[in-house]
């Protein structure tokens, strides 16, 4: 049995990781006494006993805990955004490079990707790598997330009697914290414009990239690159070209993947062949956080990566 300590196990991400690991056949979660959850010595003691520490903490606390884990030689999987482009850390998106899984498997430090970043990178990275989209291109990403993406403070607000907007766009400083990882791991020369938004639903997310296609490029060709790139993947599914779920047509929605570790990719194009929309649908707490964390943990521990990644 492998042992895991979740630092921040009572937060939104931590709880969902714990829920997934509760039935794991090869992983035992070792918990800290709640009264000691900010005690550095207590944390170090646990870290020295376990195979992996999962950090489900705000960024500053994650940086501090990652150092503690380093001091006692414990492997770390960080769910925060503190180390996603940091030297010495492996990016925990196994599907983006053929060698990424083996890097995660042998890493001392793995950084779990951001929820929006997961959607954007699974769309952009294979297309840029194949030369189907220019690395120098100027891209715009629009997205909507369930309110659990904002952690405990946003959940409390959205689940209180306070009046909240049904839909609210943000990121208007053009500097959302996921932009550096999106640019770095998609190998883009320029930072995209990214306008996220949040709605009055708990979980689910759409990440959308509208494109004017250059002459000689087609939406069908973009779809083929993505379908080929993810042909062998369990958790990245590419829908048929121009398919809209009949249950919601003519709309596409962020719903239907709650609890799942799957990202669903869709590519839409117009009849004239000069416009395209790339879409990734995922659960912000699933493949966008806790599902991905359990998938990465499985890979780090040499286990079947699909064990306990979903919540039914």
Ligand X SMILES: CC(=O)N[C@@H](CCC(=O)OP(=O)(O)O)C(=O)O
- List active site positions: 115
Alpha carbon distance 208, 140 (integer Å): 8
196 binds, among ligand X, ligand NDP, none (CB under 5 to 8 A by kind): ligand X
Q: Which stretch binds ligand X (CB under 6 A): 22-30, 38-46, 142-150, 232-240?
A: 142-150
User: Under the criterion CB under 6 A, does residue 70 sit at the interface with ligand X?
Assistant: no
User: Under the criterion CB under 6 A, does residue 198 sit at the interface with ligand X?
Assistant: yes
Q: Which residue has the tokens 């956080």?
A: 289
User: Under the criterion CB under 6 A, does residue 204 sit at the interface with ligand X?
Assistant: no
Nearest distance in Å: CB 144, ligand NDP: 13
285 binds, among ligand NDP, ligand X, none (CB under 5 to 8 A by kind): ligand NDP
Residues 6+ apart with CB under 8 A from 62: 55, 78, 79, 80, 82, 83
User: Under the criterion CB under 6 A, does residue 115 sit at the interface with ligand X?
Assistant: yes
Residue nearest to ligand NDP (CB): 11
Q: How many residues make contact with ligand X (CB under 6 A)?
A: 11
Q: Which stretch binds ligand X (CB under 6 A): 143-151, 158-166, 186-194, 301-309?
A: 143-151
Nearest distance in Å: CB 25, ligand NDP: 25
198 binds, among ligand X, ligand NDP, none (CB under 5 to 8 A by kind): ligand X
Comparison of 122 and 198: residue with beta carbon closer to ligand X: 198
Q: Where on the chain is the footprint of ligand X (CB under 6 A)?
A: 81, 114-115, 145, 149-150, 154, 177-178, 196, 198
């Amino acid at each position: 049995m492998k042992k895991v300590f979740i630092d921040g196990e009572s937060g939104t991400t931590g709880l969902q990781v714990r829920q997934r690991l509760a039935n794991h056949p090869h992983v035992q979660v070792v918990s800290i006494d709640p009264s000691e959850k900010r005690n550095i010595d207590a944390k170090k003691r646990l870290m020295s006993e376990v195979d992996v520490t999962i950090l489900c903490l705000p960024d500053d606390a994650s940086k501090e805990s990652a150092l503690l884990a380093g001091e006692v030689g414990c492997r770390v999987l960080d769910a925060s955004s503190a180390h996603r482009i940091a030297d010495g850390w492996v990016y925990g998106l196994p599907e983006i490079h053929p060698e990424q899984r083996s890097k995660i498997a042998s890493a001392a430090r793995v950084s779990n990707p951001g929820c929006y970043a997961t959607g954007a990178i699974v769309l952009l990275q294979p297309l840029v790598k194949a030369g189907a989209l220019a690395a120098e291109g100027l891209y715009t990403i629009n997205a909507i997330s369930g309110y659990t993406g904002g952690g405990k403070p946003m959940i409390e607000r959205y689940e209180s009697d306070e009046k909240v907007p049904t839909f609210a766009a943000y990121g208007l400083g053009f500097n959302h914290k996921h932009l550096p990882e999106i640019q770095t791991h998609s190998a883009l020369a320029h930072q995209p414009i990214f306008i996220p938004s949040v709605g009055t639903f708990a979980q689910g997310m759409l990440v959308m990239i509208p494109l004017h296609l250059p002459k000689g490029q087609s939406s069908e060709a973009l779809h083929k690159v993505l379908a080929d790139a993810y042909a062998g993947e369990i958790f990245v599914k590419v829908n048929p070209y121009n398919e809209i779920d009949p249950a919601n047509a003519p709309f596409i929605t962020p719903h239907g993947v709650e609890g799942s570790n799957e990202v669903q990719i869709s590519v839409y194009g117009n009849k004239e062949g000069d416009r395209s929309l790339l879409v990734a649908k995922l659960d912000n707490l699933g493949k966008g956080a806790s599902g991905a964390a359990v998938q990465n943990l499985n890979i780090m521990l040499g286990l079947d990566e699909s064990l306990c990644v979903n919540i039914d």
